[in-house]
Homo-oligomer: A and B are copies of this chain.
């Protein structure tokens, strides 16, 4: 098995590389690691962080929410837990609708009961 292929599939980024890619300080990456459970790169035996592409993607999402969209850390955390932003928006609307529906169903019951009594 050629080395090259293994290197390609097992491409890791150091914290310095990720930092440079986004133009941020390494301290920020470490800090976000403590704030977001989702951001948890493997660590080498020595303790160095090993970022996969998936890890970088997660970081990018957080970066987008916090630095570009203006979410607080807490807000971004919530967002991440709800499989993607679009879905969250829809869920909000759906939940509102479901509450209204529940109310209407209940109201109908009461109206029916009232008519019965007449």
- A: residues with CB less than 8 A from B are 69-72, 74-79, 86-87, 89-90, 92-94, 96-101, 103-105, 107-108, 110-111, 114-115, 117-118
Are the C-beta atoms of B89 and A87 separated by less than 8 Å? Answer: yes
- Residues in chain B near residue A118, CB distance under 8 A: 117
Nearest chain B CB to A49 CB, angstrom units: 27
The contact of A78 among B70, B86, B89, B107, by CB within 8 Å, is B70
CB distance from A107 to the nearest CB of B (A): 6
> Is chain A's binding surface mostly helix, strand, loop or mixed?
helix
Contacts of A115 in B (CB 8 A): 114
In Å, the complex CA distance between A29 and B21 comes to: 40
Q: Which of B69, B76, B97 contacts A97 (CB 8 A)?
A: B97
Contacts A70-B72, A87-B89, A101-B103 known; list 18 others, CB within 8 Å: A70-B71, A70-B74, A70-B77, A70-B78, A71-B72, A71-B75, A72-B72, A89-B90, A90-B92, A90-B93, A93-B94, A97-B100, A100-B100, A100-B101, A100-B104, A103-B104, A111-B114, A114-B115
